[in-house]
Structure 1
Amino acid sequence: MRSIGEVAAWLGVTASALRFWDERGLVSPARKSGARYYDEDDLHRLAMVKMLRGTGMLSLDEIDVLLRRPQHGDWRTTVQTRLSEIRAQQEKLAAAEEFLGHFLACPREDPVKDCPELRAHTARELKGTFDK
């Protein structure tokens, strides 16, 4: 059994974060004289919470679904929804990388004004917009 201070230091989080995760029901440490003590299963769950939070892609509510309700199967829907959102973000990031890379590589001094490739792209975006 590990104390909250030991676990906080080991995970690199604050004791208040561990207390909050406990209050949210993500972990249920043993109590002795009001102090929290964590066993190996608790440590695994806490490491999982930290890992999932560290990605910046899962909310505590989504993590709660993964940790507390696997028997209902709703965790698969949660994961699939989040994966779909991540893939959409990846597509946006790839497009942003392509545009910004073009800006850097463009030989024009003012790419926004003078680049024929960027003009062609905006023309495709605007096609039909004002034809109504």
Structure 2
Amino acid sequence: MLSIGETAAKLGVAVSALRYWDERGLVRPATRRSGKRLYGEAELHRLAIVKMLQDTGLLSLDDIALILHGPEVGDWRAAIRVRIEEIVEQRRKLAVAETFLGHFARCPRDHPVETCPSLRAYTDRVLTEER
């Protein structure tokens, strides 16, 4: 069994994060001795999953709770599929942003917005498309 401080150090998170995750019902300590939280192997595994998912920056604690609690909270897979669709759309938007920003960075024009023929051709196409 590890103390909350040892567990936090092992995971690279603040002790306050473990307390908050406990309050949110994500991962409870295995036991308490003299009011102190102690974590066992199963809890360390679950905490590592929480940290891994949170480190992506793409899942809320509610999403993470859904994954952790699985079937006992309902159709968690459907909720996760929706989140995956959102991530795919976000990835698409990031790719477009990367393309445009890359063009701006490589464009030899001093003021690409005003003088780049490639950007002008793109905006002309966008403005003439039927929506």
TM-score by length of 1: 0.90
| Aligned position for 1:9 | 9
Residue 122, structure 1, aligned to residue 111, structure 2: no
Question: How do 1:31-110 residues align onto structure 2 when only pairs under 5 Å count?
Answer: 31-71=32-72, 74-110=75-111
8 Å Cα contact 2:66-2:73 kept in structure 1 = no
Q: What is the rounded CA distance, in whole Å, between the counterparts of 1:104 and 1:24 in structure 2?
A: 44
Residue 19, structure 1, aligned to residue 19, structure 2: yes
Gaps of 5+ in 1: none
Q: What is the rounded CA distance, in whole Å, between the counterparts of 2:33 and 2:16 in structure 1?
A: 18
8 Å Cα contact 2:4-2:37 kept in structure 1 = yes
In structure 2, what residue type is equivalent to 1:112? V
Alignment length, in residue pairs? 129
Counterparts in 2 of 1:3 and 1:79: CA distance versus 1, 3 Å: same
TM-score by length of 2: 0.91
Q: CA RMSD of the aligned region, Å?
A: 1.6
In structure 2, what residue type is equivalent to 1:93? L
In structure 2, what residue type is equivalent to 1:14? A
- What do the CA deviations read for 1:13-40 (whole angstroms, capped 9, x no partner)? 1111101100111112111121100011
In structure 2, what residue type is equivalent to 1:35? K
Q: What is the rounded CA distance, in whole Å, between the counterparts of 1:81 and 1:100 in structure 2?
A: 29
- What do the CA deviations read for 1:83-106 (whole angstroms, capped 9, x no partner)? 111111111111111111111222
Bigger shift: residues 115-124 or 55-64: 115-124
Deviation of 1:72 (Å): 5.3
Q: What is the rounded CA distance, in whole Å, between the counterparts of 1:33 and 1:7 in structure 2?
A: 17
Bigger shift: residues 56-65 or 72-81: 72-81
> What percent identity do the matched residue pairs reach?
60
